[in-house]
Structure 1
């Protein structure tokens, strides 16, 4: 990364690593068995948090500083969702395919990824 890397995570299968960086905001995916960069994706705003949604690199969620959650598939950006307030962290519940985002207020927002909408 030209300036700094902010977060690093490993996939649950242990074969891939992802890292986010700033200026230009981006995420880079690495394949550890080959010791190579799989891909680099530029973002519109600084990434605040990210996580793997699958065991490998093929599904990712990225929370950006501009209140947008980007959902990535193997081919690139699949969908973008804007949360009501600035988010700081999220957690993914794989059994229900829910993404729970928390942030700058006392509220939590639950996004059902199967239905593609906010839940109460």
Structure 2
């Protein structure tokens, strides 16, 4: 009869739960960031927010989380396939980000966008 190591089991369950809590947090951030722009899809700026949000948060984050050992679905995939999926996610995310930023550069603030703190870093300036 095998003995159950409850300490190891608790650690594995905790890691599994944290992994999926992070996914739900990412989903919440994406929904929060895209809710207002989705209500106003007629403007170019809405598309900038939506494309950059989807490019950075779910696609880039999933491309990085692919290599975490706690991933149930990626355990079934070979290392070579993980690299291929990683490359595809990074590429699609990069295209989304470039298109989203190009919309701002061309339609919203031509020649001005890279002079602001948000334009340089991508982080909202709340000060």
Q: What is the TM-score of this pair, normalised by structure 2?
A: 0.20
Which structure: greater strand fraction? 1
Q: TM-score, normalised by structure 1?
A: 0.21
Q: Which has the higher helix share?
A: 2
Q: Which has the larger radius of gyration?
A: 2
